[in-house]
Homo-oligomer: A and B are copies of this chain.
Amino acid sequence: MKPTTLKDIAIKLNISVTTVSKALKGYSDVSKTTRAAVFEQAEKMNYSPNSVAVNLRTRQTKTIGAIIPTITHHFFSKVIDGIIEEAEKNGYLVIILQSEESVKQEKKLIKLLMNKRVDGILMSLAADNDTSKHLKKVIDAKIPLVLFDKISKISNCSKVVINDREASYNATTLLINSGCRRIAHFRGPLNPQNSIDRYLGYRKALEDNNIEFDRSLIYTCKNVTFEEGYKFAKEIHEQNKDVDAIFAITDLVAVGAIAYLNKAGIKIPDEISVIGFSNWFMSAVISPPLTTVEQPGYKMGKKAVKLLFEEINSSNKGIDFEPKTIVLKTKIIKRKTTFS
Contacts and interface: CB of A to CB of B under 8 A. Distances in A.
Interface of A: 1, 3, 48-53, 55-56, 61, 63, 70-72, 74, 77-78, 80-81, 84-85, 88, 93-98, 111-112, 114-117, 141-142, 226, 255-256, 258-259, 262, 281-282, 285-287
A262 B285 CA distance: 11
Contacts of A96: 80, 84, 94-96
Count this chain's copies in the assembly.
2
Contact of A77 (B52, B72, B114, B255): B72
B97 A95 contact: no
B74 A285 contact: no
B50 A52 contact: no
Contact of A71 (B80, B111, B287): B80
Across the A-B interface, give the 8 residue pairs with the lowest CB-CB distance, nearest first.
Answer: A282-B282, A287-B287, A77-B77, A72-B77, A52-B56, A51-B115, A52-B55, A51-B116
Contacts of A50: 56, 115, 117
Contacts of A98: 81, 84-85
8 contacts: A52-B56, A52-B61, A71-B71, A84-B96, A93-B112, A95-B96, A262-B287, A286-B287
A127 to B, nearest CB: 17
A141 B3 contact: yes
A286 B255 CA distance: 9
Contacts of A51: 115-117
B61 A70 contact: no
A48 B286 CA distance: 49
A70 B81 contact: yes
